[in-house]
Chain A
Amino acid sequence: MDTVADWFKWLYAAHGINLTIFYDPLDGNRFLRGIGTTLGLSAICIALSMVIGIVGAWVQGARSALLRRLVQGYIQFFRNTPPLIQLYFFYFAVGSLLPRVTDMHGAQVPPVSNITWAIISFSFFAGAFNVEIFRAGIEAVPRATIEAAEALGYSRLKAYIHVVLPLAFRVSLPALNNNLVNLVKTTTLSYAIGVPELLYAAAQIWSEVLNVREMMNVLLISYVAIVGALVLVMNRWERAMRMPGYGV
């Protein structure tokens, strides 16, 4: 471990490339915590946004006009406003209206922390797109297939779970892929409310150590790696779920 640290110290001394994250424990920890936060934030938001998408797409086909309109309103609200403004809205506007709670130090604090607001905001943001993505998949399922399921005695919910969704999901995957990649990149916005994710950690480091160029490169490579890993997993999944003779 020390040899790695020494090599990066040498790199700075000899070539002026200052990568403190490899030899300064404070910066190293901050950077690791940043990667951890970004990965955690992304994973939770991906899971929640997919749940929102699946449920939302089902409700869109509901018999109740009120429910359908509610989902439509939700989609319009979250799709037509920038995610950074949503984040600010939740953190600064909604957050100030909530009642205070007492924390373990006895101080009056808001009940929802900045990272929780980021999860809520990004999940709903990506969820709105996911609803539309799954709807496109559902509409691609032939009417005759659904009628066949109904003829076999499936209820609307059971047909959705066992017949429509598995087929729709396969059609939706490429578009879903795009949206989830976008979601991972959107998590960088949470640095605006002080969530210590990767961009925040890098910005803290470069404004203190003044190695802006080095950290910009580190950031770029980190995100290429994170998004690359996600795309790899999604592509594998797409291939594993391929049904010969169906669709593409």
Chain B
Amino acid sequence: MLKSLLGVGLAALAATALATGASAQTLDKIKQRGTIVVGIKNDYKPWGFLDPAGKIVGMEIDLAEDVAKRLNVKLDMVPVVASNRMEFLQQGRIDLIIATLGDTAPRRQVIGMVEPNYYAGGTNVLAPKSANLKQWTQLKDRKVCAIQGAYYNRRVTQLYGADLVAFTGIPEALNALQQGNCIAFVFDNTLIDSTLAGGDAKWASYEMPLVTEDEQAWAIAVPLPELNGAYGEFMKKVSIDWHKAGLIVSLEKKWGIKPSPYVQDMHQKHKAM
């Protein structure tokens, strides 16, 4: 009984390890069906969020619409979270990720990160002023709220010994923070900035007290086998175009995001080219 179970398990493991990536013709597929399916966030204000009417809007939604316009196809948005977006892309459920995706070495083994990176953010925490945080080391053995699947979770655990309590969604994590279930919420500094700048009264007694660390570029992503194919090359051109035209700079302004030095740099660099 045990032996046969073990056999089944091992066979499943071997079979899945051998499974190959998606077929390499996404661009044709998109044109054929007349729609591009983009994985976006819907809980990440103001990159991608629900407006009062229930419509998904935000800076990355504008970028997705720009891609659809360039391809002359319709845009179909699929809300994703950090822990499922890469699988969705690998399985071919979505054609493109524009979902605050940090560009890391392990992730590059799995999906195709389009360069140049369209954005960059670092890691910081949102904490009540009363917590009196000054240094990252103060997080040792304290409960810190987080989002499941975020790339900085590992670093904050390993480097500072924080006891992470990770939730699937941002609303749950923010709620747990407000209830005092954790001392701080570890997150992208860009999002914390815009949360605090939003002027919402419930964040009045909160701050972003630490030095932003681990600056990480964000990338839009295509299936790995196609990174250097027609589809990948097309997306690279799009990304260069965004920087050249200053689209992201103006979108930051439109959505009230604090200007990111990275985006400014890229705009200057590509404008000159």
Which of B61-69, B115-123, B177-185 contacts the other chain? B177-185
| B83: A residues at CB distance < 8 A | 203, 206-207
Q: Which of B14, B86, B180 contacts A110 (CB 8 A)?
A: B180
| B154: A residues at CB distance < 8 A | 26, 208
| B110: A residues at CB distance < 8 A | 210
How far, in whole Å, are A192 and B183 apart by their CA atoms in the complex?
Answer: 19
How far, in whole Å, are A220 and B183 apart by their CA atoms in the complex?
Answer: 34
| B5: A residues at CB distance < 8 A | 221, 224
* CB interface residues, A 95-120, toward B, < 8 Å: 95-96, 100, 105, 107-110, 113-114
Interface residues on A, range: 20 to 34
| B153: A residues at CB distance < 8 A | 204, 208
Which of A65-73, A127-135, A161-169, A211-219 contacts the other chain? A211-219
Contact flags (1/0) for B154-180 with A, using CB distance below 8 Å? 100110000011111000100110011
Contact call A194/B167, Cβ cutoff below 8 A:
yes
Contact call B179/A217, Cβ cutoff below 8 A:
no
Tell whether B131 is near chain A: CB-to-CB under 8 Å: yes
How far, in whole Å, are A216 and B110 apart by their CA atoms in the complex?
Answer: 17
Contact call A108/B180, Cβ cutoff below 8 A:
yes
Contact call A105/B168, Cβ cutoff below 8 A:
no
Contact call A207/B167, Cβ cutoff below 8 A:
no
How far, in whole Å, are A108 and B83 apart by their CA atoms in the complex?
Answer: 31
Least CB separation from A194: chain B residue: B165
Contact call A114/B165, Cβ cutoff below 8 A:
yes
Contact call A110/B181, Cβ cutoff below 8 A:
yes
How far, in whole Å, are A193 and B175 apart by their CA atoms in the complex?
Answer: 11
Tell whether B82 is near chain A: CB-to-CB under 8 Å: yes
Contact call B183/A107, Cβ cutoff below 8 A:
yes
Footprint of A on B, CB under 8 Å? Answer: 5-6, 9, 12-14, 16-17, 19, 82-83, 86-87, 106-107, 109-110, 130-131, 142, 145, 148-149, 151, 153-154, 157-158, 164-168, 172, 175-176, 179-181, 183
Which 10 pairs of residues, A with B, have the shortest CB-CB distance?
Answer: A207-B149, A194-B165, A213-B16, A207-B83, A217-B13, A221-B9, A109-B180, A208-B154, A17-B17, A210-B110
Footprint of B on A, CB under 8 Å? Answer: 15-17, 26, 92, 95-96, 100, 105, 107-110, 113-114, 192-194, 200, 203-204, 206-210, 212-214, 216-217, 220-221, 224
Sampled A-B contacts (29; CB under 8 Å): A15-B14, A15-B17, A16-B17, A17-B17, A26-B157, A92-B172, A92-B175, A95-B179, A105-B142, A107-B130, A108-B130, A109-B180, A109-B181, A113-B181, A192-B168, A193-B167, A194-B164, A194-B165, A203-B148, A207-B149, A208-B154, A210-B107, A213-B16, A213-B17, A216-B16, A217-B9, A220-B12, A221-B5, A221-B9
